[in-house]
Amino acid sequence: MPKLNLALMVVLSLGVAGGAAVLALTQKNADPDEYKIKSLIRLLGDHDPDIQRDAERELRALGPKAAPALQAAAAGTDRLLAERARDLLAHAQAPTPSPEPSAATETTSASPAEAPEEDLELALQAPRYHLKAGEPLAYTVRLRNGADRPYLMARDVVEGSALYGAYAYFEIVDEEGRVSQIPLDSVESLEVGRWVEDVISIEAGEEVDLFAGEIQFLRSPQLDRPGAYQLRFVYEAGEAYRKALGKARAEGVALAVDRLVSNTVTVLVEE
């Protein structure tokens, strides 16, 4: 009997040692980023815009490593998470910008300077994301310039207030997946006598509230109906933008991308 117990102890010891060796080998070969990516994917679907924006930033930094998890999320049943995952995938597949211009042309506002879109970040925030039908959405928009040089932003100014109707709009997606635009106030829609085209320079590392820190109110027939809506702020660097820069004397670099798009927020409208 003692010999049997001794044999069992030897077998058990060998089994534990073998299991520990396999576990150690597995841990050694595991991808340290795998758990991080899974956690970031979960945070990407968070309703807190700050948490979601931080997750987006880290997933972009991981590059191709995050692509399989993002593709799985894009094909999932969580509509909000799928939309954000598709945005990140589309961003990752965007064409590489052309080389930077020479120092001689870098500070001229009309030069077609190229700049990575990730240098510029639009942050859309709202104090409340639950609304009653017909209630306006209060919001703010902040631009962060993460580059090492200034960029130029065009706008209209009426009696000290900034208007972006000629350059920007809201993109809204309803529960059926239909996409439409909500225009912003522009000088054409207001009865004003005096207004000026204004071009401001967003300095390197600077964060600027596009509406000078004032809370804006978005009213739209789309928000009069109950449902869940996805909103994002879009700034178009199109013909109106280039025309404004042609008249400006501000120092900085013209936006190279056609569109700057903010984070997506989900607004719930109730009866």
pLDDT, tens digit (0-9, with 9 covering 90-100), for 31-69: 557 778 888 888 888 776 667 777 788 888 788 888 888
Highest mean pLDDT among 76-85, 144-153, 244-253: 144-153
- Other beta carbons within 10 Å of 155: 22
pLDDT average, residue stretch 135-145? 92
**Over 60: is that where the pLDDT of 78 sits?**
yes
Q: What is the pLDDT of residue 86?
A: 82
pLDDT average, residue stretch 81-99? 66
Across the chain, mean pLDDT equals 76
**Over 50: is that where the pLDDT of 250 sits?**
yes
Separation of alpha carbons 156 and 248, rounded Å: 12
Q: Among positive and negative, which fits the CA dihedral 18, 23, 24, 28?
A: positive
- What are the residues whose beta carbons fall under 8 Å from the beta carbon of 208, sequence distance 6 or more? 142, 143, 145, 153, 200, 202
Separation of alpha carbons 140 and 125, rounded Å: 5
Residues of the chain with CATH 2.60.40.3880: 103-270
Chain centre distance of CA 201: 21
- Domain 103-270 coded CATH 2.60.40.3880: yes
Query: Of the ranges 71-80, 143-152, 174-183, which one carries the lowest mean pLDDT score?
Result: 71-80
Query: Of the ranges 10-19, 55-64, 73-82, 245-254, which one carries the lowest mean pLDDT score?
Result: 10-19
Q: What is the pLDDT of residue 154?
A: 92
Chain centre distance of CA 254: 20
